[in-house]
Structure 1
Amino acid sequence: MSAQSIECVGCHKPRLIVLIRHGESESNKDKTINQHTPNHLIPLTKRGWDQARQAGVELLKVLNIDDKDLAHKLESKYESKENLGDKLELSGYQRYDKKKDRHVVFYTSPYKRTRETLKGILDVFDEYNELNCGVKICNDDRYEPCGKNKLATWTPPRFPSGVYENSNVKESDLLELKNSEKHFIQYRVKDDPRIREQDFGNFQHISSMQDVMRKRSTYGHFFYRFQEGESAADVYDRVASFQETLFRYFEKTNKRPRDAIVLVTHGIYSRVFLMKWFRWTYEEFESFVNVPNGCMIVMEYNSESDRYELRTQLPKWC
């Protein structure tokens, strides 16, 4: 099935699909950490946390929200004195659908750096909801990347859900909102191992990895398979499986709405996701480089053409 030609009567496709690369990690800063720390346990740096909050602000700015001034207020609050890197420009972003974005579904790679990036994004969303609606989530009920609020919960007779929601707020606050013009942004979080980083093997020694990277440049980034790891072509298979899950979800009209789907993931995965979605050749994949840490890629749904249009200008090899 082509991602560009899904035909389903009455299905609800999200207005936006957004991919966000995690903020700067300790490995991005110092590769020697890979020699003794498992890849999935590498955390963000302080700069990475700043990039995560900046990503939360940038995401708010592309959503249809009640108060754009609040987004700019939060942008000023989280502006860093340190250079956080380049932002990717949007091209031709039209906002075809003018309805307010009230339901956002986040999928996150289970790696520590992506969960921490998501935490920074959601902290900004929680603050926006409090400023816009007066609805505050208690600290004990907020999403935690390595705490109880990201683990699966068992509610008999159901199986563990593994889903976090920001729905644990006072009913009186939500009832008051029904009589208000303000919109509370509801979000759900789902861990999905399929959107994890490309596997480069287990512990990685600097001297041997430098030689491996040179071989990959000669062999080709897409097909080169790391020993004890994956090639980008292997990642493509995971991407295909995940996208099929999304398509099936779009077709189920009885499911809860989603105005935007956000993947908090990794650089190579994002490129492979776009390759599969837009049916790029592997040569086209090879022409792009990873987006900078903390940057987002925006895909907007055009109901007239029944297609998603890539709104972000992607960086290429010089």
Structure 2
Amino acid sequence: MNTYATNTDRYREAPHNPSERGRKPRVIVLIRHGESESNKDKKVNEFTPNHLIPLTEKGWSQARHAGVELLRILNLDNNDIVENLEAKYPLPPHRHKGLTLKDYKPLNRRKDRNIVFYTSPYTRTRETLKGMLDVVDEYNLINSGVHVCEDHAYKPCGKQKHSIWPCIPSGHYENNESTHCFVGGNKSEYLQYRVKDEPRIREQDFGNFQEVSSMQDVMKKRATYGHFFFRFPQGESAADVFDRVASFQETLFRHFEDKHSRKPRDVIVLVTHGIYARVFLMKWFRWTYEEFESFTNVPNGSMMVMELDETADRYKLRTVLPKWTE
């Protein structure tokens, strides 16, 4: 018997046997980070490494509001709490209202209990995730009486050049019994989440320190050459990002199919960057590069929702993306 062929055939057949498959997430959500210092003033790029650029005060507000927006699309115990949180964390003044959700009415009403967050390791994405988790923690406290100790809360930044992260690492984090200061109130289940640092979902590399006037010339060349194939000096093209996206999506697919060794994941959230999010959708939905280039960047703090249609066994994009023609 050819063992290699037998194992290969078994692997190929597994996806067609529902009893041997893992449960796919009900929704996959992509979040663009909140406004960063670089979004506000490009000169920051001349002396601050791109991956260390933090959020502005407005960006933190957008991050907390993104946390509320995430809760709004979940199947939860108490939507009244979400309404109160939305009043507490409104959209910042003069902020775009966000992207439109089209035809989104949860196809599956099963309660969402487990969320897996993947975050780009850039400071602005980690800080965006921190703002979102603060809102999720607040929901858990009100709904379930679960309080995360301050010393054991998710920390967006660690120390460079240290092989061991101080206290709770930002690279891998989970809110579970070890992070709780107390559990009180009613017996409602709390939203459990896990955080994974994922370098593959980082921003497109535009080069190292970026001199503003030079970058303006480069951006003009990109507009002429095309956004997808143009490679930045000392950096990447969107086509290079596509390769990272393909690798990461393969990782997700393996997790979806693994029934026995993986923890549940009702919802997956990627806290990432504008270009990466669009390339992710391009790869997933098999857009051509022309289709990719027809879309403009999404506003800071925006949410893009992919919902699983179990009857068709495929995801549908529920978010309407902005286009240049608009």
With normalisation by structure 1, the TM-score equals 0.91
Contact 2:63–2:301 (CA under 8 A) maintained in structure 1: yes
1:86, distance to aligned residue in structure 2 (A): 2.6
The answer on 1:204 being equivalent to 2:182 is: no
Q: Which residue matches 1:15?
A: 26
Deviations for 1:136-186, whole angstroms, at most 9, x for unmatched residues? 1111111010148xx9879xxxxx994100112459738x87xx3x12000
The answer on 1:61 being equivalent to 2:68 is: no
1:83, distance to aligned residue in structure 2 (A): 2.5
The range that moved more, 278-287 or 138-147, is: 138-147
The answer on 1:277 being equivalent to 2:288 is: no
Question: C-alpha root-mean-square deviation of aligned residues, in Å?
Answer: 2.0
SS in 1 for 2:83: helix
Percent sequence identity over aligned pairs: 65
CA distance in 2, matches of 1:186, 1:11: 19
SS in 2 for 1:136: strand
Sort the Cα spacing of 1:186 and 1:204 in 2 relative to 1 into closer, same or farther, 3 A. Answer: same
What amino acid does structure 1 have at the position aligned with 2:131? Answer: G
What amino acid does structure 1 have at the position aligned with 2:174? Answer: E
Deviations for 1:273-318, whole angstroms, at most 9, x for unmatched residues? 0000000000000000111000000000011000000000100003
What amino acid does structure 1 have at the position aligned with 2:152? Answer: D
1:11, distance to aligned residue in structure 2 (A): 2.0
**Residue of 224, 242, 245 corresponding to 2:248:** 242
Sort the Cα spacing of 1:263 and 1:81 in 2 relative to 1 into closer, same or farther, 3 A. Answer: closer
Contact 2:30–2:272 (CA under 8 A) maintained in structure 1: yes
What amino acid does structure 2 have at the position aligned with 1:231? Answer: S
1:8, distance to aligned residue in structure 2 (A): 5.7
CA distance in 1, matches of 2:317, 2:31: 14
Q: Which residue matches 1:173?
A: 183
For structure 1, the 5+ residue unaligned runs are 1-5, 155-159
Show the 5 A alignment for 1:148-227: 162-167=171-176, 168-170=178-180, 173=183, 180=187, 182-227=188-233
The answer on 1:130 being equivalent to 2:141 is: yes
1:87, distance to aligned residue in structure 2 (A): 1.1
CA distance in 1, matches of 2:203, 2:50: 9
1:80, distance to aligned residue in structure 2 (A): 4.9
Show the 5 A alignment for 1:24-63: 24-63=35-74
Q: Which residue matches 1:109?
A: 120
Q: Which residue matches 2:4?
A: none
SS in 1 for 2:148: coil
Sort the Cα spacing of 1:213 and 1:271 in 2 relative to 1 into closer, same or farther, 3 A. Answer: same
With normalisation by structure 2, the TM-score equals 0.88
For structure 2, the 5+ residue unaligned runs are 1-14
Contact 1:152–1:163 (CA under 8 A) maintained in structure 2: no
CA distance in 2, matches of 1:111, 1:35: 17
Contact 1:24–1:45 (CA under 8 A) maintained in structure 2: yes
Sort the Cα spacing of 1:11 and 1:136 in 2 relative to 1 into closer, same or farther, 3 A. Answer: same
CA distance in 2, matches of 1:164, 1:98: 27
CA distance in 2, matches of 1:183, 1:122: 17
Contact 2:33–2:301 (CA under 8 A) maintained in structure 1: yes
Contact 1:108–1:192 (CA under 8 A) maintained in structure 2: yes
